Amino acid sequence: MSEHALTASAQRDREYALHPYVDPKVGPMPFVVTRGEGIRIWDEQGREFIDAMAGLWCASLGFSNERLALAAYKQMQELPFYHCFTGKTHMPLIDLSQRLIELAPAPMGKVLLANSGSEANDTAIKLIWYYNNALGRTQKKKIIGRHRGYHGITLAAASVTGQVVNHQGFDVPFERFLHVQAPDFYHNGLLGETEEQYADRCAKELEDLIAAEGADTIAAMFMEPITGGGGVLVPPRTYYDKIQAVLRRHDILVVADEVICGFGRTGSYWGCQTMGITPDILTCAKALSAGFQPISAILISQKLADGIAEGTHAIGTFGHGYTYSGHPVPAAVALETLRIYDEMNLVEHTSRVGGYMQAELRRRFGEHPLVGNIRGVGLVAGLELVDDKALRKNFAPSMKVGAQMVALCEQQGLIVRGCPNDTIALSPPLIITEAEIDVVLNKFAIGLDQLTQRLR
């Protein structure tokens, strides 16, 4: 738990607000954030932090941007709301849909807009079921996710999510959802097994699951190109080739969840490009609007769009849509965000600065006795802290080593994130510079030294 005093606002927060990822009886204490600028935020006591998590992996342009503020203001003055039901539409929705199709890592047919990553994935699941119903494949409905994968917390998205904490107490996953192992070579690789062989074994596990369930019952598999919240897992190089070959063979759709990886995070525009995935459906959110406005998108292939159109024609209308699908204000902010990405040469910048961050992490912490494994590509990384490096053994969960490290970093004015297996994630705003990476890693090093002293 962080150690700052409970202010009056924090007390009111405790009284009135229910928070994600908090034990209301234990903590951590409310941390009242009041202001942001560049890669930094300030709390109500005036303490300054570099947010090396870009909030929740989303504030790609940091915590201040005049152009995005103006884009929202201008749109609110021109047309603050309109919907897209019954054929109504507006320019931000049209322009953003077109731009996303142009940017997509594989040919895509249509775009649907929503408000969050969870909604995007939930919608994707609905579209998959709707599509298979339209084709008369009424049994082909099961969805495969991966353990430790994260796809959000609405009911269907939480079902494909593979994290226990998002299932316990919520009566999910629903029946139609299956999970295969996390692509975690560090822990799941066998003694003497190469990454290639491990990838073969993952593909075999998938093939066996499909055989056991029946290919005609399985509709799609969801994958984050690089697993984010589950501990920054970068699958072995040939993993996706092998997994996709299995899925294609059984006519199972590939869904790429680009909610974290999309828009330069991994050093390519899309995680699919970094990892070699050709999706039938792509979902994105977060950096789509630099986190400044809630918005997400679902891109579907022409094949799906055609099937959905056929099904809809038979029913008479498409019975899906949110009041705020394609809301003009977030859509205008997203469009301006994408323009800024173009102007800042996003991919060149994130691959260069990300390459620097990855190299420095390995150079500075690779030999550290507490750091068992360093994973990541581009501007997303995870350092797994371990009790025994040779045995790849984690600390007892009751020691909360990850949470201790997060708190120690906070004392240094650095925000990082604790993920499963005491993996500490870094996912800084994409505007970060090499010099700022150095400052982040200096603070991280102090936190790690203090943790080492404490555990000794």
Per CB under 6 A, which region of 32-40, 164-172, 257-265, 367-375 contacts ligand PLP? 257-265
E-strand stretches of 268-377: 281-284, 296-300, 371-377
* 56 contacts ligand PLP (rule: CB under 6 A): yes
Residues 335-364 contacting ligand PLP, CB under 6 A: none
CB of 259 to ligand PLP, least distance (A): 3
Compute the least distance from the CB of residue 115 to ligand PLP, in Å. Answer: 8
Q: In terms of CB distance, is 152 or 330 closer to ligand PLP?
A: 152
Interhelix angle for 328-343 vs 66-78, to 10°?
150
Q: Which is nearer to ligand PLP, 116 or 373 (CB)?
A: 116
Contacts of 444 (CB under 8 A, 6+ apart): 52, 365, 409, 412, 414, 416, 426
Using CB under 6 A, which of 43, 207, 257, 384 touches ligand PLP?
Answer: 257
What's the per-residue H, E or C state across 428-447? CCCCCCHHHHHHHHHHHHHH
Q: 418 and 403 in contact (C-beta within 8 Å)?
A: yes
Question: Interface with ligand PLP includes 117 (CB under 6 A)?
Answer: yes
Total of chain residues touching ligand PLP, rule CB under 6 A: 15
Query: Of 140 and 151, which has the nearer Cβ to ligand PLP?
Result: 151
Binding characters for ligand PLP, 169-208, by CB under 6 A (x = yes) = ----------------------------------------
Measured at the alpha carbon of residue 349, what is the angle toward residues 346 and 350, in degrees to the nearest 5? 85
Q: Name, in order, each residue with C-beta under 8 angstroms of 122's C-beta and a sequence gap of 6 or more.
A: 152, 154, 155, 156, 157
The radius of gyration computed from the CA coordinates of the chain, to the nearest angstrom, equals 22
Task: Count CA within 13 A, CB hemisphere, residue 78.
Answer: 13
From 374, 362, 448, 365, select the one nearest 411 (Cα to Cα).
448
Q: Does 151 bind ligand PLP (CB under 6 A)?
A: yes
Per CB under 6 A, 118 contacts ligand PLP: yes
* Binding-site member from 134, 260, 295, 347 for ligand PLP (CB under 6 A): 260
Closest separation between CB of residue 20 and ligand PLP, Å? 9
Residue 188: half-sphere exposure toward Cβ, Cα within 13 Å: 21
Should residue 402 be labelled a site residue for ligand PLP when binding is judged by CB under 6 A?
no
Q: Is 440 in the site for ligand PLP (CB under 6 A)?
A: no
For ligand PLP, which is the closer residue by CB, 257 or 280?
A: 257
C-alpha distance from residue 193 to each of 32, 186, 200, 386 (Å):
47, 11, 10, 21
> 231 — phi, psi (to 5°)?
120, 25
DSSP code of residue 115: S
Q: From CA 207, how far away is CA 225, in angstroms rounded? A: 20
- What crossing angle do the helices spanning 117-134 and 302-315 adopt, rounded to 10°? 70
Q: How far is the CB of 178 from ligand PLP (least distance, A)?
A: 18
**Residue with Cβ nearer ligand PLP (229 or 376):** 229
Tell me if 152 contacts ligand PLP by CB under 6 A: yes
Q: Which stretch binds ligand PLP (CB under 6 A): 2-10, 197-205, 255-263, 323-331?
A: 255-263
Task: Single out the segment in contact with ligand PLP by CB under 6 A; choices: 110-118, 297-305, 401-409, 448-456.
Answer: 110-118
Contact 34, 44 (CB under 8 A): yes
Q: Which is nearer to ligand PLP, 295 or 305 (CB)?
A: 295
Cβ count near 17 (within 10 Å): 10
Minimum CB–partner distance for residue 321 and ligand PLP (Å): 18
In angstroms, the CA 119 to CA 123 distance is 6
- Our finding on whether 228 is near ligand PLP (CB under 6 A) is yes
- For residue 376, the cross-strand partners are 381
Taking CA 420 as the corner, what is the angle to CA 414 and CA 422, rounded to the nearest 5 degrees? 55
Q: Which stretch binds ligand PLP (CB under 6 A): 149-157, 306-314, 406-414, 447-455?
A: 149-157
Task: Work out whether 379 is an interface residue with ligand PLP (CB under 6 A).
Answer: no
Residue 116 touching ligand PLP (CB under 6 A): yes
Residue 262 or 307 with smaller CB distance to ligand PLP = 262
| Interaction between residue 229 and ligand PLP (CB under 6 A) | yes
Rule CB under 6 A: is residue 122 a binding residue for ligand PLP? no
Closer CB to ligand PLP, residue 111 or residue 298?
Answer: 298
For the bound state, the minimum distance from the C-beta of residue 364 to ligand PLP, rounded and expressed in Å, comes to 27
Which residues of this chain interact with ligand PLP, rule CB under 6 A?
56, 116-118, 121, 150-152, 224, 228-229, 257, 259-260, 285
